[in-house]
Structure 1
Amino acid sequence: MRSILYATDLTEQSIPALRYAYDLSISLGTDLVVFHSHEIPPIRLSVKRPIKQLEYHLIAEQKEIVKSYCIKHLGEEIDLDKLRIVVVCGDSVLDGIIGLSKELSPDLVLIGRKGKHTERGMFAGDIGQGLLKRLSCPIMIVPGNIEAAPIRTILYATDFEEADIAAVESLAPIAKQVNAKIHFIHVTTEEQYAKSNQMEWFKEMLAKRIDYKNLEFKVVFSEKIEEKLKEYSERINADMIALLYREEKGFFQNLFNKSLVIKLDDQIGIPLMSFSK
């Protein structure tokens, strides 16, 4: 991995996500791009300077504000050579993140889970879903109370599909870098599972396509996906849940809807990394 793009609104509630993003970048040996979208205030007609000139000075001012925010909450010892600050002026946070992602091609985009304090729908919810639909890189959404901690255990919720294997090809280098174990869990009904031999096929394909052996596989019979993910993540003390974003209706498609994000935040409370199908 080369870089992580983290989007912030500079609020107090975003401090844990900033610290998590920075610690993750250190663990993975990547650069961290801290992005902030600043909404331009109404400009009085009496202002004589050109709009572009005003925007240039406003961005420079905001960059200093973001830099001070990072130093204050990450500490004076942070490596500024590994941290890049990008500010854009605009009303759409989603468009700003997507535009910068296309320019920089980050390996991971990290955002904070939306909380009641956000005013522009900045994180998770529609933004998370919009990023998943329009970006090809993995998206990580972290809860507002996240604590920086090493990633040692990753829970991957799988349907044993070909697309899952492609996602794991992106996940495996991250796990390898931090020496984390990947637990694959497939939640299904006994009737559905009896008709397939997908897990053995999946394990064989993974062995051929990824160079990582710290893996474990588990099939759980239930119709309550959220409940079983919560139970199993707690059982193995997972530091992160990873999964493949699916367009079809169901749990995975609804994962980033506002109501379910809040529900998962209450129930699970660990980062969610999603890969585009």
Structure 2
Amino acid sequence: MSIELRHFRCFLAIADALSITRAAERLHLTQPAVSRTLRQLEQELGRRLVDRSTHHLALTPDGASFRDQAAIAVTAFDRALRLGRHTAWPLRLGHAWSAAGTGTTALLRRWRQVHPDTPLELLRIDDRTAGLTRGDVDAALLRGEVHTPGLLTAQLTTEPRVAGLPADDPLARRPALSLSDLATRTIALNTVSGTTTLDLWPAAARPTSTLPIANQDDWFAAVTAGRAVGVTTTATADMYPHPAIAYVPLTDAPPVPVLLAWRDAPGHPRIPDLIHLAREVMGGAEQGSREA
């Protein structure tokens, strides 16, 4: 038996749904057919991809690693098919939060003017690399240091950090704050794609109470409800002003680098153009790319 594209699609459906039943429904196949296809793929690879020993399905470490590679392969195939049918090849740009900040609108409009034949699709994906390693996007706007193997990055700019507080919080009336002012508060930490960790504070003065969240929407909900305070960048303050949130500058928090990242592999031919335009719009100095 040889591995076919249907094996990849079947595995990706299982990995996404973590259920043979739901994967079968999505693929319009029977459950035995999905189980058989998965078993064939595992036998051909010589690796166990899905752990069926518990009540709920879970990916094995090999399965989690293979998922990203399978997604890239399926995406590449689908793109080649679209190109063969003479359809436009959109350039998909991922972000986990705040996109290009105040430069977002300018970036999208300038791209449309300069490259009208290549649609630029901005996609928010709640993932550390905004879907880049899974093949969901061609490039991604990321914040913070990126150490994912196989990615190249170009720094576009840096953004100062600010505190996000309920508008009626006593600290919200101050013109500026230090990290120590937040140390006694519950801190909302985006554990999926955020740049704030307890390492931001000195070891002897770290907050003792945190509220883990998974995305920007949950961050806003936690802060507006008064459940926690947060640390973000000026891009969030500029793009998402909210009457129930006060953004106060932090005087002793280091700025956050904003990067454009892409895979170190053959990809969309317009990525160099995107790097150039993003640097121009966001005001970053020309810098060499590097492997993450």
What TM-score comes out, normalization by structure 1 length? 0.23
